[in-house]
Amino acid sequence: MGDLADRLVHDPDAGEVRDGPRRYLLMRADVFSGALALVAPEHRGAVLDAFARSVALHGADSVSAYLDALGGNTAALLATMPSAAADLGWGVWRFERPAHSPGLALTVSNSPFVQAFEDQRAEQPVCAPIAGMLSALGQACFGVPVRCVESGCVARDGGQACRFEVVPLTPSSPSRHR
């Protein structure tokens, strides 16, 4: 599997960008995160939850396609995802296996979703699209439903990187390669 950026087909006649059957949308980060910042704080959690669930649902198709192209090898999938995330402008991803849980930890530097909060603090983590993609990825890797939490967000906590944890809700499937 090549880099996602190499597979994207820009079709100006159709006005679209595709990776096979999957259509992508290129948008300025400040437009997306700026819209989120304009949502009243008491409603922002519902909007973030909807984004996370939508990305988990629809992102599962991309994750499945990547995993199929890699012959079902989840270790290779985890090695591929940081490049795909960077190709889409979703920051710099670094996966780790936490010592204290059976799941995955992800650190994201330069998340585009925090941009509108550079001059203010968010009341909750705002990188819901990344959490949604990590949920889809975790389910593909572990073969069971997962719980994903953004445990640290630059928009809420400051710092240099956002942190996520994904934990399988039941024991992992032994049929998946790690």
Q: What is the dihedral of CA 141, 70, 5, 49, to 10 degrees?
A: -20
19-47 per-position pLDDT tens digit: 989 899 888 888 988 898 899 989 999 99
CB atoms within 10 A of CB 8: 16
Q: Which residue has the higher pLDDT, 124 or 174?
A: 124
When pLDDT is cut at 50, 70 and 90, the band that residue 176 belongs to is very low
When pLDDT is cut at 50, 70 and 90, the band that residue 171 belongs to is low
Beta carbons of 141 and 128 less than 8 angstroms apart: no
**Averaged pLDDT for residues 140-154:** 94
Beta carbons of 48 and 33 less than 8 angstroms apart: no
86-104 per-position pLDDT tens digit: 999 999 999 998 877 789 9
- Domains assigned to the chain: 28-168 (3.30.1380)
**Averaged pLDDT for residues 1-22:** 87
